[in-house]
A = this chain, B = another copy of it.
Amino acid sequence: MDLKLVTEISKCLANQTRIEILEWLKNPAENFPPHTSIDHYDDGVCATYIYEKSGLSQSTISNYLTNMEKCGLLVLTRHGKWSYFKRNQEVINEYTEFLK
């Protein structure tokens, strides 16, 4: 992981809501309702649930999630019309290792 990417990731983390999203995604079952079309959280949580929990607008949260995915913090998996986001633990680990 290089300096540029570390800086990009840090910028994504420089916002309370985005940190909270990462925290919520540590334990989806505890923080979100069950999905209607699947009975697991293997691909994370759908964007709507994150948006509803956040209190911010749909467009804002969509932007957050897209950026977090672009810098590698989240993994996106699409199932039909739904977008599921989960933590990218590998990237998070590399990031924290860099700072250490």
Contacts and interface: CB of A to CB of B under 8 A. Distances in A.
A15 interface: yes
Q: What bracket does the count of chain A residues touching chain B fall in?
A: 20 to 34
Nearest to A7: B16
Contacts of A14: 7, 10-11, 13-14
Interface stretch (A37-45, A56-64, A76-84, A88-96): A88-96
A75 interface: no
A19 interface: yes
* A-B residue pairs, 3 tightest by C-beta: A96-B96, A10-B13, A14-B14
Nearest to A6: B19
Interface in A1-51: 3-4, 6-7, 10-11, 13-16, 19-20, 22-23
